[in-house]
Structure 1
């Protein structure tokens, strides 16, 4: 497809300086334990309905609010019995950067990859913690009172394996303090977005 050829060309140009210097970027990433990189755009100011996990209030989904650039690096964890017992998650280090002056955050989470039979479709629950640069309280209009600097995080990806190395997915993310910083406010952060992933191994 034309867009895929364009994407490969852009990635090749980005990697060219490192390759010219004698570095194999992909091999360097593998040596650091990186198994996949992902990037995409998230909508801002999406709300949960009734406070339920993943129950989005679709009346708050505004397609004019593509305000967040998301990047994620997924690391393969050691082949240990306890990790097998926990479902063999990967470790996802991610940033969600808001370019409209609102809340940005970074998060570290366990990511479980669950294929749906042989369809190419997969589901990935995520669980971890996040740190943000938003207001704790007394936020001005348009900002959120988040109560704590460090927040609990959960999320999920639903995606499709386009090729052996490339995937696309819809992502829902939520971060809040789950009443651990009362009596401060707990507006929480909710993001809905689309991302593309590139596997390195």
Structure 2
């Protein structure tokens, strides 16, 4: 948990300092960081909105738990053939923190973004892994049995470039282990991520 909180603090500092992109002197440490950081995001989410990976019926979603905040850093796509071969995704590091003491996630992965024709809109997909602070088995009432400490992480989104720098993305994120462990109570969250691109 200490590692998660440390990562959240780092992401929050980055998210609160977009002006660094203009003020950083060439060759400075902050300029070097901003060379690899493409975008930072902060968001708010409904916790445990649905029980499966695919949100099949929005009428069955649970809208009563707006409890999560998220922090994400999306890095510049590495200049490497292997990344070009798979569609030039951006590496990502982030956390979704529950403010009511429920399950929180710390995730890393790759994020693909597809523009919707000649519009500011885009589709987005993320695939990676997520660690959590929840129970593996024998969870008390009101909590879930994740089974594995590290699970798969998937996220789907639709967003818009509001300005040259600002973005807004509606996202549905899910983590589960695909049956690799004895228990497999996944977690799905839905919300809005606001971003700042450097």
TM bin (shorter chain): 0.7 to 0.9
Q: Give unpaired runs (5+ residues) of structure 1.
A: 1-10
Q: Secondary structure at the match of 1:170?
A: strand
User: What are the residue-to-residue correspondences of 1:1-201 with 2, within 5 Å?
Assistant: 15=17, 27-31=31-35, 33-48=36-51, 51=52, 53-55=54-56, 57-62=58-63, 64-181=64-181, 184-200=182-198
Report runs of 4+ in structure 1 exceeding 2 Å deviation: 22-29, 51-61
**Does structure 2 retain, via aligned residues, the 8 Å contact 1:46–1:56?**
no
Q: Secondary structure at the match of 1:47?
A: coil
Distance 1:117 1:79, change over 3 A: same
Cα distance in 2 between the residues matched to 1:15 and 1:161: 19
Distance 1:164 1:146, change over 3 A: same
Distance 1:25 1:114, change over 3 A: farther
Cα distance in 1 between the residues matched to 2:92 and 2:190: 17
**Does structure 1 retain, via aligned residues, the 8 Å contact 2:53–2:175?**
no
**Does structure 2 retain, via aligned residues, the 8 Å contact 1:47–1:56?**
no
**Does structure 2 retain, via aligned residues, the 8 Å contact 1:93–1:107?**
yes
Distance 1:162 1:83, change over 3 A: same
Q: Secondary structure at the match of 1:87?
A: coil
Q: Deviations over 1:5-47 (max 9, x none)?
A: xxxxxx9xx549x89xx8889635313x100000111111211
TM-score normalized with structure 2 length: 0.82
Instruction: Give the greater-gyration-radius structure (CA).
Output: 1
Q: Give unpaired runs (5+ residues) of structure 2.
A: 1-12
Cα displacement (A) at 1:142: 1.3
Q: Secondary structure at the match of 1:123?
A: strand
Distance 1:147 1:25, change over 3 A: same
The alignment of Structure 1 onto Structure 2 pairs a total of residues equal to 181
